[in-house]
Amino acid sequence: MHQIIRLTLLICLGLALCTCQDSSDTGLRAATQSRDGSAESDRPDYALVIHGGAGTILKENMTDERAAAIEAAMNAALDAGEAVLRDGGSAADAVEATIWVMEDSPYFNSAKGAVFTNAGINELDASFMTGHDQNAGAVGGITNLKHPISAARAVMEKSEHVLLTGKGAEEFAAGAGLEVVDPAYFFTQERYDALQRALAGEKVEQEKVDVDKKHGTVGCVALDKDGNLAAGTSTGGMTNKRYNRLGDSPIIGAGTYADNATCGVSCTGWGEYFIRYAVAYDVHARMAYAGASLKEATDAVIHQTLVEKGGTGGLIALDARGNVAMPFNTPGMYRGYLKAGGEREVRFYEE
């Protein structure tokens, strides 16, 4: 009799253990499953996404040589960021390394290759944010720093402020040891000609090259092996801008945002709209408060909110599970991403 009771107890215990094991498995999956269906276990070791600006980017207006040069620059930027992430470097280091490559390239409207103001100079804006602590830094209207993105990061890490502008920002960045250049370094004939056309009252149109008013801002979001996100954006703003105009790019919450709990975002487009609709923060908020997936949140902001209001542009975003979103409501956006394991894509047009 005792043996029967002991056997029954053992069977019950065994069943209980199995059930328990099953439900804890399911619980784990349920707890880590996101709305777009990806699970924590799917998370790549690292991921990186970039943009090089949104606008009237059309295949028929692009020469093969120019397309190849832009594609090469974007791949070089992705390579620089991947080298950091593959070695176990931080998302912040990857964002900075990636954006340096694009800032150094004359094909993008950031640092070398920046558009000209009405006064015929280059005024640069940038911002930086880390997702694990919501720390952020930004600079606006600077004229002599080779890498504005590093100035934004220095404001974040080495000052008690978030946004510095003009001469003060330059003085701070030089004091932080950043490379100072002669403003002539930023000159490119193409952007200068675009200003001359704007000044002549011509409508700046897409000709054979991509030189409209606000193309080529660069941005990057990275996810590192520790699951941390970081985001950065760097731009020359809009051709023919006046009165120390600042767009969304140096405004945290408008052009850039990062929170490990949701995503990292970098925007490009008509800055005034991105400021008014707090675009980068809105993506985060939709995920945080409404439980939207990355795709739902980014599509709603770019294809609904902005379209309804007349704001043109796009954004790149990456969530903590390595999901990538790159929506835009213009004819094209220079964009690309990679994930650990070899997945990589660089695209220009709507596809």
Active-site residue list: 217
Q: How far apart are CA 125 and CA 271, in angstroms?
A: 12
Among 196-204, 221-229, 241-249, 325-333, the segment contacting ligand ASP (CB under 6 A)? 241-249
For residue 325, what is the enclosing H or E element? Answer: strand 324-325
Interaction of residue 269 with ligand ASP, rule CB under 6 A: yes
Among 58-66, 155-163, 233-241, 301-309, the segment contacting ligand ASP (CB under 6 A)? 233-241
The residue whose two tokens read 């093969």 is 64
Phi-psi region of 9 (alpha: psi -120 to 50; beta: other; left: phi over 0): alpha
Burial class of residue 10, CB neighbours in 10 A (0-12, 13-18, 19+)? exposed
- Out of 268, 293, 298, 312, the only residue in the binding site for ligand ASP (CB under 6 A) is 268
Half-sphere exposure at residue 59, Cβ-oriented, CA atoms within 13 angstroms: 4
Interaction of residue 327 with ligand ASP, rule CB under 6 A: no
Among 71-79, 98-106, 181-189, 209-217, the segment contacting ligand ASP (CB under 6 A)? 209-217
- Out of 98, 143, 234, 235, the only residue in the binding site for ligand ASP (CB under 6 A) is 235
Interaction of residue 51 with ligand ASP, rule CB under 6 A: no
- Nearest to residue 258, comparing CAs of 88, 133, 153, 100? 133
Q: How far apart are CA 10 and CA 13, in angstroms?
A: 5
Interaction of residue 332 with ligand ASP, rule CB under 6 A: no
What is the closest distance, in whole angstroms, from the C-beta atom of residue 171 to ligand ASP in the complex?
23
- Out of 127, 249, 312, 330, the only residue in the binding site for ligand ASP (CB under 6 A) is 249
DSSP 41-53: GG--S-EEEEEEE
Interaction of residue 247 with ligand ASP, rule CB under 6 A: yes
**Ramachandran angles phi, psi of 7, nearest 5°:** -60, -45
What is the closest distance, in whole angstroms, from the C-beta atom of residue 91 to ligand ASP in the complex?
22
For binding to ligand ASP (CB under 6 A), which residues are involved?
53, 214-215, 217, 235, 237-238, 247-249, 268-269, 271
